[in-house]
Amino acid sequence: MSGGHDHVPSRQELAAMATKPLPGNLRTISLIMAAVGFAVFIYGAATGQDRAWQAFQFNWMFFWTISAASVAFAAVQRITTARWSRSVVRLLEGMVAFLPVAVVLLAVTLLFGLDHIFPWATNPPHGHEKALWLAKSFLIPRDLFFAAGFAALSLWFVYNSVRLDVAILPESGLAWAKGLREKMRAGFGHERRELHTQHSIQGKIAVALVIMFGFGTVALAWDLSMSADVHFQSTMYGWQVMMGGWVVMLMVFSILAREFRDLMGAGEIIGEQQLHDIGKLCFAFTAFWGYLTFSQYLVIWYGNWAEETHFFNLRLSGVWKSLTLATATLMFLPFFGLMGKYPKLWTPTMYIFAFSSILGLWIHRYIEIYPSIYGEIDHLPFGLFEIALFVGFLGLWGWSYTSFMDAFPKVRVFMMTSEYRDEVQIPVDAETMEPLPAHE
């Protein structure tokens, strides 16, 4: 991918951009949205309405997969020692703030909501293997391990990334993180040694993080989405769920890059090259999502086994059909719209296709779960709870994200201004500062 601009602003100029606060009302609005959305959920749960829990579940899957994919993408940037993304990758690292919150919400679902969401929670499947896999005593600790393990690795990874910037910039940011920033500065040594030490640590965490993302997201998709239909199984299902979150993460990335460029006055560092690169990624992974989706459908169609075809027969009939077709259209539309260069660069077209994917994935998460629960019905179970929980989760996600972005530098200032920044392209021993042999 293309690199950055020839001119990089000075450390002082970047510091001014990176520490510029977000509009103060964003966190207030986010908290209000969260309060309203979860108040509706609490009312529904307290009055025994299963729809409240079901809406909670599919919205959790929607926001978790996007947020988890964002940190995994940042880890991929470290593994490949990418330079093009140094000015924008912090915008994705900020989504790590939602992951601990999501783990708590998942624990609420697993401990109190399973009976209201999944038929197997009250009527265990007859097959021994499925009954064993879906046993609460096995499923609950397994899913909490995957989610909490990934969140912990993500926090560790982002901590090491943020530490380099906090250590070289004057104290600034929200008060809640002041002690954490002081801890980051404590014991910070010479720039060159710190660069290689942190880069080495991040590399090891990044590999574990990507592995955990791949396996953990697939396992969570099996347990918390595919299992709603205990008679259906597909080896490609988890990958499709994971890649849907990955695609929409990139679409959200394209929006954030433009919004933060304007907010920070960062046109010099978030320019046409970065926006074009993100747009190309959106196009490429939209194509890959389409490949996975059609491949799963095609194999089941020509196999023509009743234990598999019933899953799609249900979603392509009755009240579910229009939503299924809407999902396919909204998610794949950007493939045609982003073929050229200029739709990737022009903000209105990029926003149209980004929101198309976001809406498409949200409907997809709904379609993954609801038809398996309700079967053939006359009226679509969609209304207050589904919308209110989306608003609530969006508010909680927005509050977490803005709290992080206003507590820490919004740009990787260190990696853009250190005179040693490009030494990371050649791995060295963090102790001796000597290049490592190729086999190491």
pLDDT-derived band at 124 (thresholds 50, 70, 90) equals confident
Left, alpha or beta for 265 (phi > 0: left; psi -120 to 50: alpha)?
A: left
CA distance 58 to 36: 18
Backbone angles phi, psi at 435, to 5 degrees: -60, 140
Average pLDDT score, the chain: 93
Q: What are phi and psi of 428, to 5 degrees?
A: -130, 165
Q: Are 363 and 355 in contact (CB under 8 A)?
A: no
Q: How far apart are CA 257 and CA 84, in angstroms?
A: 13
Q: What does the alpha-carbon distance between residue 75 and residue 386 come to, in Å, rounded to a whole number? A: 32
CB 101 within 8 A of CB 396: yes
Tokens read off for 255: 């929006």
For range 380-390, the mean pLDDT: 97
pLDDT digits (tens, 9 = 90+) for 274-290: 999 999 999 999 999 99
Instruction: Specify the pTM.
Output: 0.94
Looking up tokens 């259906």, which residue turns up? Answer: 232
pLDDT (tens digit per residue) in 63-119 = 999 999 999 999 999 999 999 999 999 999 999 999 999 999 999 999 999 999 999
Q: At what angle do helices 347-374 and 306-315 cross, to 10 degrees?
A: 120
Amino acid at 69: A
Q: How far apart are CA 26 and CA 405, in angstroms?
A: 12
Per residue in 3-24, pLDDT tens? 444 567 899 999 999 999 999 8
The C-alpha atoms of residue 151 and residue 423 are separated, in whole angstroms, by 29
Rounded-to-integer distance, Cα 105 and Cα 143, Å:
12
Residues with Cβ < 8 Å from 215, sequence gap 6 or more?
146
pLDDT of amino acid 43: 97
In the predicted model, what is the mean pLDDT of residues 119-139?
Answer: 90
The residue ranges of every structural domain in the chain are: 26-425
- The percentage of the chain sitting over the pLDDT mark of 70, rounded to a whole number, equals 96
Overall residue count recorded for the chain in this entry: 440
Q: Helix 347-374 and helix 237-264: axis angle, to 10°?
A: 150
Please list the residues that pair with 428 across neighbouring strands. Answer: 435
Q: What is d(CA 195, CA 164) in angstroms, rounded to the nearest whole number?
A: 8
| CA-closest candidate to residue 251, choices 84, 93, 70 | 70
